[in-house]
Structure 1
Amino acid sequence: MTDRIGIVIKNEEYAQEKAGELVRTLGEKCVVIDTRDSGKIPDDLLCLVVLGGDGTFLHVARFIEDRDIPLMGVKFGEVGFLAETTEERLYQAIESVFKKEYLIQERTRLDIKVVRNGERIVDVDVLNDAVINKSALSRLASCAVFLDGNYLTTFRADGLIVATPTGSTAYSLAAGGPVVHPEVPSIILTPICPFTLTNRPLLIPDSTPIEIRLEGSPEDMILTLDGQEGFDMDPGDKIFIKKSRNIIKMISFENQSYFKVLKTRLHWSGGK
């Protein structure tokens, strides 16, 4: 069978138009994937090409679950930290994929579990982050954090972000967290506007299991995964976070592409 790629399209008119052009050009070498049905991903795909911004890429990363299929992001959104190429270089990038002239970058994910009354109600992998905060903006969240079974501290803040290195350039960065290279094996804890100013962002080894317990009056608490999926929390809920066994494979075309993306997206001196 001829090598082919899968295409996932952002629900936006322009992205749909570009996808139509791509399908007409590639013909049988491509197949459009409907992310409403995870059971219909063909086993013979070289990769999934994601036509959209970072939000679409994160959606696809959750959609493929534990499947061993690389993703290639194409920038249509405003930021595009997860995009390897742009619309202008789309056909050149796809040609390189068919020639198998590319690199694979492995990105870690976090395994997020929520236990309520002894029952597991959430069991999801995230690529960027898990965020705990109050739906009522005027109230502080109190999150007791345990690392490898040992009590660390209780963060009293507008919320708490637990992020991967990939997610370090997302909400965590906006909340004052550090930029962490994706190959640094770590998990980032970033309090959002902490009540105690000595509560600063913390990097821990990604081998460290995390448990978070909600303290005080945890009504109206929300757990948000990758900024897209939200769960209402109840008093007594426990959140368990650890490095997932399932990685995400991202297609890249040069070794130092991460730093080029970083400079460009953050508008650092020399970014073009």
Structure 2
Amino acid sequence: MKKILLLPNPLKPAALELADPVQKLFARNGFQVNVELSEPGLALPQADCFDGIDLVMVLGGDGSMLNAARRIYPRQIPLLGVNLGHLGFLTRVESNRLEEACEHLQKGLYDYEERTMVEAVILRENQAVHRLVGLNDLVLAKNSFARLLRIETWIDDEYFTTYPADGLIVASATGSTAYSLSAGGPILDPRLAALVVAPICAHSLYARPLVLSGEARVKAVFHADYAEASLSADGQATIVLQAGDVIEFGKAPYVTKLLRFNDQGFFDVLKTRLKEGRI
């Protein structure tokens, strides 16, 4: 591993300030380091900036990691996050431990976690008009002040139920600690290739989150006379929907690879976050 691409979050001054010392630190230790500075609001950097890259190092928080995962998709370049955010479920390095991280990379003291991503295809009049992928989740939700939706839901081509709700979350195991958790969903081991389906504020006593096989296919059709709705990936990329649109959800064909060091694990992070009251 020799060629590293730094992706600092352009909206975080601390990330921009850290980019130069990080580049110099790793360059002194034999790595070739490039920095990609995207303007705020741009969805993608130049595609060729990823050519020949062995590792993408993200300076930011979990939101920055989610954005980076979608930006490099479907390339399965490993991601390493330097935590400058709040939760830090996806980031693996604190900003005061960069020299230690550099040493671990030099010595090969690291491993990879493969994280399942979720994919949605929007069908309008039987034509695929949009495709979204997310590392955490895909969320069908009503827009502000709109009336509730009636979301007709199918699982593996079998009709399941119609949720009267504010929306529907389809999350990966990685995303089980995000929006799905606040909607009453379970926390899953992120190594599982599973899907969580969780209605948002369902107007029903019997609507409960579901855990499905990673091979399951979920189809949702939303009905409303006046409501406006949208589909978002990781709470960042959003597409406005039309009533009658069919959204087909499932496991994405490619994974996100997260680099982690040998002394790190998800449950240690989870335990710490629970104790700190961050979730």
Shared fold by TM > 0.5? yes
TM-score under structure 1 length normalisation: 0.92
Q: Say if 2:44 is the partner of 1:32.
A: no
CA 1:80–1:119 in structure 2 vs 1: closer, same or farther (change >3 Å)?
same
Classify the secondary structure of the residue corresponding to 1:214.
strand
Match of 1:18 in 2: 18
Which residue, out of 56, 59, 84, partners 1:51?
Answer: 59
User: Is the 8 Å Cα contact of residues 149 and 166 (structure 2) preserved in structure 1?
Assistant: yes
Classify the secondary structure of the residue corresponding to 1:120.
strand
The letter of the residue matching 1:116 is R
Which residue, out of 208, 212, 219, partners 1:211?
Answer: 219
CA distance in 2, matches of 1:204, 1:42: 34
User: Is the 8 Å Cα contact of residues 3 and 44 (structure 1) preserved in structure 2?
Assistant: no
Which residue, out of 193, 196, 204, partners 1:188?
Answer: 196
Runs of 4+ aligned structure 1 residues displaced above 6 Å come to none
**1:37-73 CA deviation, whole Å, 9 max, x = no partner?**
2412343322111110111111100100111210011
CA distance in 1, matches of 2:149, 2:50: 44
Classify the secondary structure of the residue corresponding to 1:22.
helix
CA 1:222–1:176 in structure 2 vs 1: closer, same or farther (change >3 Å)?
same
CA 1:256–1:24 in structure 2 vs 1: closer, same or farther (change >3 Å)?
closer
CA distance in 2, matches of 1:206, 1:231: 24
User: Is the 8 Å Cα contact of residues 148 and 227 (structure 2) preserved in structure 1?
Assistant: no
CA 1:244–1:171 in structure 2 vs 1: closer, same or farther (change >3 Å)?
same
Classify the secondary structure of the residue corresponding to 1:153.
strand
- Shift in Å, 1:128: 0.6
CA 1:169–1:228 in structure 2 vs 1: closer, same or farther (change >3 Å)?
same
Which residue, out of 98, 107, 114, partners 2:122?
Answer: 114
Match of 1:156 in 2: 164
Classify the secondary structure of the residue corresponding to 1:81.
coil
User: Is the 8 Å Cα contact of residues 150 and 165 (structure 2) preserved in structure 1?
Assistant: yes
Q: Which runs of 5+ in 2 are unaligned?
A: 39-43
Q: Percent identity?
A: 34
CA 1:183–1:218 in structure 2 vs 1: closer, same or farther (change >3 Å)?
farther
CA distance in 2, matches of 1:34, 1:99: 29
CA distance in 1, matches of 2:226, 2:266: 39
Residue correspondences, number: 269
Classify the secondary structure of the residue corresponding to 1:235.
coil
Q: Which runs of 5+ in 1 are unaligned?
A: none
User: Is the 8 Å Cα contact of residues 195 and 214 (structure 2) preserved in structure 1?
Assistant: yes
Deviates more, 1:21-30 or 1:144-153: 21-30
CA distance in 1, matches of 2:114, 2:95: 23
CA 1:233–1:262 in structure 2 vs 1: closer, same or farther (change >3 Å)?
same
Match of 1:6 in 2: 5
CA distance in 2, matches of 1:141, 1:95: 52
Match of 2:90 in 1: 82
Match of 1:66 in 2: 74
The letter of the residue matching 1:14 is A
User: Is the 8 Å Cα contact of residues 79 and 265 (structure 1) preserved in structure 2?
Assistant: yes
Which residue, out of 26, 45, 49, partners 1:41?
Answer: 49
Match of 1:235 in 2: 243
Match of 1:226 in 2: 234
Deviates more, 1:146-155 or 1:96-105: 96-105
Match of 1:244 in 2: 252
CA distance in 1, matches of 2:100, 2:74: 28
User: Is the 8 Å Cα contact of residues 74 and 254 (structure 2) preserved in structure 1?
Assistant: yes
User: Is the 8 Å Cα contact of residues 160 and 189 (structure 1) preserved in structure 2?
Assistant: yes
- Shift in Å, 1:268: 6.5
